[in-house]
Amino acid sequence: MEHDIVVPVREGAANRELRYALRSWCANLPHRQVWIIGYRPPWATGVQHIPTRQTGGTKYRNTTQAVRAAIEHPDISETFILCNDDFFVMAPQQGELPVYHRGPVADVEAYYATRGNGAYLRGLRETRDLLVGLGHPDPLSYELHVPLPVDKAGMREALDAGRHLDVLHKRSAYGVLAGIGGEYMADVKVLTRAPRTFDKTLPYLSTMPDSFAHGAVGQHIRRAFPQACRYEGRVRR
């Protein structure tokens, strides 16, 4: 059975990354429907749309509101694939989508502690403390930039448990509380323009706005998916 893809989308962006993400999903990620939660660009056609008021104050609260809207919508499949608008699936996925984690939260915390990532790092620590308090002394991180299969009931439990947190790491809360397990994967987010910072054989890639627009990784993705897909009402490369 094919599942729906759910993707929160921020307001007011031309969002060329989403265009190519959709192309990659059409080519390589079997699914039933795509649900855009939040802002639907005018060119996006054939997608389902749940508009949300993005008034949470931060992108973290806005995306949490979007995921809450998805789990409460009766027409979205009970298991859906949670994506961001800059997740690119570079190789065909067959059968059940695999689950990946990033290793222990403690290791991910050590990585970000050297970079002074304020709100994100605070949210990581608060989510870790939440999970430890709920009986998971060494929780895994699921904060990877790859598609994640999500069960509605499990995600509802995670969002309810972390409703008091300003920056909930909802993928990790869900993965740990639902006991989804999975395999270790290093994150695939490409931060820079340099050509040697990513592996062209990876099945997934993700970008920053600058690395997509001006970097070798963006050029690689655009070359991989040159043709418009069924979710584009107007061709623009």
Count of beta carbons in the 10 Å neighbourhood of residue 27: 15
- Cβ–Cβ under 8 Å, residues 123 and 166: yes
Which one-letter amino acid corresponds to residue 195?
P
107 vs 114: CA distance, rounded Å = 12
- Which tokens sit at 159? 């969002």
Region of 41 (left: φ > 0; alpha: ψ -120 to 50; beta: rest) is beta
**Residue 235, pLDDT score:** 46
Residue boundaries of the structural domains of the chain: 1-91+206-237, 101-144+151-184
**Residue 13, pLDDT score:** 64
87 vs 82: CA distance, rounded Å = 10
180 vs 144: CA distance, rounded Å = 14
Which of 98, 69, 67, 95 shows the shortest CA–CA distance to 82?
67
**Residue 14, pLDDT score:** 74
**Residues sharing a CB contact under 8 Å with residue 60, sequence separation 6 or more, in sequence order:** 119, 123, 166, 167, 168
**Residues sharing a CB contact under 8 Å with residue 205, sequence separation 6 or more, in sequence order:** 88, 90, 188, 190, 198, 217, 220, 221
Q: What is the pTM of this model?
A: 0.94
- Over the chain (237 residues), the average pLDDT of each successive run of 10 is 93 86 98 96 96 78 94 98 98 95 96 83 96 98 98 98 95 98 97 87 96 96 97 69
Tell me the DSSP string of 106-165.
Answer: HHHHHHHHTTT-HHHHHHHHHHHHHHHHTT-SSPBP---SS-EEEEHHHHHHHHHHTTT-
φ and ψ at residue 82, rounded to 5 degrees? -90, 125
**Residue 86, pLDDT score:** 97
**Residue 234, pLDDT score:** 62
- Cβ–Cβ under 8 Å, residues 76 and 70: yes
